[in-house]
């Protein structure tokens, strides 16, 4: 079990904020899922993406509503994405995804 060679490539489902400049921002588990628990937030994102377009869109709207209630945030939009990452490169400092699939995007109400 532990000696099997595994691919260093992994698909990671994420919810990110998008600024007016088009830059990604990291969102907290509290903004994503209403909890400080990272594992709960990650599970919610995975389940929402697995549920298809309706699941991803619903999560996107929830996160956007939470962001709208937080003052002084730069995000104008929220995206639900799947990044394909090379784990070896990631831990060596290269945080650039190999690919990104955008499942949905929604605007943050102002």
User: How far from each other are the two terminal CA atoms of the chain, in whole angstroms?
Assistant: 50
Is 96 contained in some domain? yes
Helices H, strands E: what count in the chain? 4, 4
Along the 110 residues of the chain, how does pLDDT read in single tens digits?
A: 567 888 999 999 999 999 999 999 999 999 999 999 999 999 999 999 999 999 999 999 999 999 999 988 899 999 999 999 999 999 999 999 999 999 999 999 98
Tally of structural domains, the chain? 1
Q: Does 58 map to a domain?
A: yes
Whether residue 15 is contained in a domain is answered as yes
Answer yes or no: is 49 within a domain: yes
Bridge-partner residues for 17, per DSSP? 25, 78
84 domain residue, yes or no:
yes
Which run of H or E residues covers position 76? strand 75-86
In a domain, 2, yes or no: no
Helix (H/G/I), strand (E/B), else coil: 90? helix
The pTM of the full predicted model, rounded to 2 decimals, is 0.91
Domain with 58, as residue range(s), is 9-107
């Amino acid at each position: 079990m532990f000696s099997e060679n595994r691919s260093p490539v992994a698909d990671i489902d994420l919810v990110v904020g998008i600024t007016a400049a088009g830059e990604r921002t990291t969102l907290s588990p509290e903004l994503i899922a209403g909890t400080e628990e990272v594992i709960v937030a990650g599970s919610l994102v995975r389940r929402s993406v697995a549920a298809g377009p309706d699941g991803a869109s619903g999560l996107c709207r929830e996160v956007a509503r939470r962001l709208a209630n937080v003052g002084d945030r730069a995000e104008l939009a929220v995206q639900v994405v799947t990044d394909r990452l090379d784990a070896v490169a990631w831990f060596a400092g290269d945080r650039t995804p190999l690919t990104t699939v955008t499942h949905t995007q929604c605007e943050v109400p102002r």
